[in-house]
Amino acid sequence: MAGHDVQDDPKLKGLSRYFNNSTIRGRANVAKATYAFFGVVILYNMLKPKSK
């Protein structure tokens, strides 16, 4: 159908299985994590109480 089976490299262990630069999926996960990090930082700065 629309997708295909994704074969993980058996040499990759731990976080390197999800965040690597040798696969398209790994690069996409790095980009998503980067966007999420900056979104959390911006949200924190917007919602923190203002000090006098």
Q: What is the pLDDT of residues 7-48, one digit of tens each?
A: 667 777 888 888 888 888 889 999 999 999 999 999 999 998
Which range of residues forms the domain containing residue 50?
23-52
Show the tokens assigned to 15. Answer: 């976080």
Q: What amino acid occupies position 32? A: K
Residue 41 within a domain: yes
pLDDT of the residue at 21: 85
Show the tokens assigned to 13. Answer: 């262990």
Total domains, the chain = 1
Residue 47 within a domain: yes
pLDDT of the residue at 19: 86
Residue 20: in which H helix or E strand, if any?
A: none
Name the band, by pLDDT with cuts 50, 70 and 90, for residue 5.
low
Residue 32 within a domain: yes
Closest CA to 31 of 39, 44, 4: 39
pLDDT of the residue at 47: 92
pLDDT of the residue at 3: 55
